[in-house]
Structure 1
Amino acid sequence: MPGRLAGKTAVVTAAAQGIGKATALAFAAEKAQVWATDINTKKLSNLDKTPGIITRKCDVTDPQSITALLTETGAPDILFNCAGYVAVGTILDSSESEWDFSFNLNVKSLF
């Protein structure tokens, strides 16, 4: 049944490629108003002309970036947080700064 998300607003993080991009396109195909976000604006710009999709740069590890986005979008009906990072190797192979980045992106950004 096409149009299942008509009248809904969706925010999709990490929408420049992969699962995030596919999700943004799927939500738009179902007639949601999609705010596709990513830190990579060059790749994100590939979605600029897609009907139903508005693109914005947003760093989910930066509270000010998130606040600015939500000020513009309002409270979304759907939040699809696809941002994530996987380090190469085990935790024992990671530096403290790599661990901090991974934790901030994969865990703290959800707060």
Structure 2
Amino acid sequence: MTQPPAPPSQDFAGRTVVVTGAGSGIGRATALAFAERGARVLVADLNAESAAEVTARIEETGGTAVPVVGDLSDQAVVDRLVATALAPAHPDAAQGAGGTSGSGGTIDVLVNNAGIMDSMSAVADVTDAEWERLLRINLTAPFLLTRAVLPHMLAAGRGAVVFTASEAALRGSAAGAAYTAAKHGIVGLTKSLAVTYRHRGIRSNAVAPGGTLTNIRLDIDPEAAGPQALGAYMGNVGQPAAAETQAAAIVFLASDAASNINGAVLPVDGGWSAV
């Protein structure tokens, strides 16, 4: 009797995964989740102490992690991260410049998670500095890293990119103008990437978290026009999710279990987007 095929796997043994914003919140939970499934994880974060803590945590449990510290809106930091990911995991592996997944030479998964929140400013109140900072960190930085990683995924003939979008990417009432515009841009980038490279082995998807328990900073003037207008919609947020809940969705989208999912934006918001 013919046995049914095994279900698609969420095992990442032998694969290299880059996670940005991996020092805290959703990024930290995601880095730990990939490591638990056997991946070699590049722990990318702006905060050196946080990146070191997550790396140590992974190594203590028998996993493999490499910290990379810097601002990913800086092309030089992006280039350094990619070079680190592609480097052999062990010096004696340097002879195999082509490398194999997990020992350097390829980047199998890129998780563009790092981001910052705005001050919920309405359009008329957004300063040039806030607009430029939000767009640079939340949209340009993921673009720069994706552009740098893509040639290596294309050379390997496979790869998965997962973006952290937001509930704010699905509507106009979940954040300020700058954050909303940046996250709508992330959705466009996700879908453009999926369409352009779907016949070359690359998948691109995004999660759209709703309220989530993280340490992302909020600097809000409750009397300003943005918070005054948006406050009426915040009752639909529902129960905040744990960061691990978002991480589980990210791991799934990056895995072989999601091999036919491409160009999707998955709300992980407890039904907020359905209201």
What TM-score results when the alignment is normalised by the length of structure 2? 0.38
Q: Please tell me whether the aligned partners of residues 45 and 69 of structure 2 are also in contact (alpha carbons under 8 angstroms).
A: yes
> Please, what is the CA RMSD of the aligned residues?
1.8
Q: Which residue of structure 1 aligns with residue 188 of structure 2?
A: none
Q: Which residue of structure 2 aligns with residue 79 of structure 1?
A: 110
2:17 maps to a residue whose letter is A
Shift of 1:5: 0.1
- Picking from 26, 30, 44, the partner of 2:33 is 26
Q: Which residue of structure 2 aligns with residue 7 of structure 1?
A: 14
Q: Please tell me whether the aligned partners of residues 16 and 43 of structure 1 are also in contact (alpha carbons under 8 angstroms).
A: yes
Select the structure with the greater relative contact order (CA < 8 A; seq sep ≥ 6): 1
- Picking from 72, 77, 80, the partner of 1:60 is 72
Between Structure 1 and Structure 2, the one with more helix by share is 2
Q: Which is higher, the Rg of structure 1 or of structure 2?
A: 2
Q: Distance in 2 between matches of 1:58 and 1:76?
A: 19
| TM superposition outliers: structure 1 runs of 4+ over 6 Å | none
In structure 1, runs of 5+ residues without a counterpart are: none
Give aligned pairs, total: 111
Residue 108 in structure 1 maps to residue 115 in structure 2: no
Q: Distance in 2 between matches of 1:106 and 1:3?
A: 28
Q: Please tell me whether the aligned partners of residues 21 and 114 of structure 2 are also in contact (alpha carbons under 8 angstroms).
A: yes
Q: Distance in 1 between matches of 2:45 and 2:32?
A: 14
1:66 maps to a residue whose letter is V
1:80 maps to a residue whose letter is V
> In the TM superposition, what whole-angstrom CA distance separates every residue of 1:29-53 from its partner, at most 9, and x where no partner exists?
0000000110111222212322222
Q: Distance in 2 between matches of 1:48 and 1:106?
A: 24
Shift of 1:3: 7.4
2:112 maps to a residue whose letter is N
Q: Distance in 1 between matches of 2:116 and 2:10?
A: 32
- Picking from 74, 92, 95, the partner of 2:124 is 92
1:40 maps to a residue whose letter is N
Moved more, 50-59 or 32-41: 50-59
In structure 2, runs of 5+ residues without a counterpart are: 1-6, 87-105, 144-275
Q: Distance in 1 between matches of 2:115 and 2:32?
A: 19
Q: Distance in 1 between matches of 2:52 and 2:33?
A: 17
> In the TM superposition, what whole-angstrom CA distance separates every residue of 1:61-101 from its partner, at most 9, and x where no partner exists?
00110001111212410001111122112243321011101
Moved more, 23-32 or 87-96: 87-96
What TM-score results when the alignment is normalised by the length of structure 1? 0.90
Shift of 1:110: 2.1
Of all paired residues, the percent bearing the same amino acid is 31
Q: Distance in 1 between matches of 2:67 and 2:84?
A: 12
